[in-house]
Amino acid sequence: KQEVTQIPAALSVPEGENLVLNCSFTDSAIYNLQWFRQDPGKGLTSLLLIQSSQREQTSGRLNASLDKSSGRSTLYIAASQPGDSATYLCAVEGPNAGKSTFGDGTTLTVKP
């Protein structure tokens, strides 16, 4: 059974800092890993999707990496802003096609 862990559970940083969120998974037979953002009381918004064959993806100030062999992914946020405050979840699809397992998320607070 795939298990996904996100560390830390919560993070508070001053505006402008670069930060890293971590995601680890137990079964490396994955199809992809997806990072989501969730604002309070809202649905999930996809940020980045890394295919199994890729090592990283970038979108603006966000960079996600994937190391399948070690079962780890990181989400790097550059020059954080108060608008980045949200809960960030990672989801791993696999080993069963179509079946995704989510971590519990990291709640990020960026202070002005």
Partner 1 sequence: DAGVIQSPRHEVTEMGQEVTLRCKPISGHDYLFWYRQTMMRGLELLIYFNNNVPIDDSGMPEDRFSAKMPNASFSTLKIQPSEPRDSAVYFCASSLGQGRTDLTFAYEQYFGPGTRLTVT
Name the site residues for partner 1 (rule: CB under 8 A): 31-32, 34, 36, 42-46, 49-53, 89, 91, 93, 96-105
- Which is nearer to partner 1, 64 or 80 (by Cβ)? 64
Distance CA 20, CA 29 (A): 24
- Which is nearer to partner 1, 61 or 99 (by Cβ)? 99
- Which is nearer to partner 1, 4 or 77 (by Cβ)? 4
Taking the CA atoms of 51, 53, 55 and 58 in sequence, report the sign of the dihedral they define. negative
Distance CA 78, CA 96 (A): 33
**Minimum CB–partner distance for residue 28 and partner 1 (Å):** 12
Cβ neighbours around 79 below 10 Å, total: 11
- Which is nearer to partner 1, 99 or 111 (by Cβ)? 99
Distance CA 83, CA 17 (A): 13
**Minimum CB–partner distance for residue 62 and partner 1 (Å):** 14
**Minimum CB–partner distance for residue 1 and partner 1 (Å):** 10
**Minimum CB–partner distance for residue 102 and partner 1 (Å):** 4
Which of 31, 4, 24 shows the shortest CA–CA distance to 99? 31
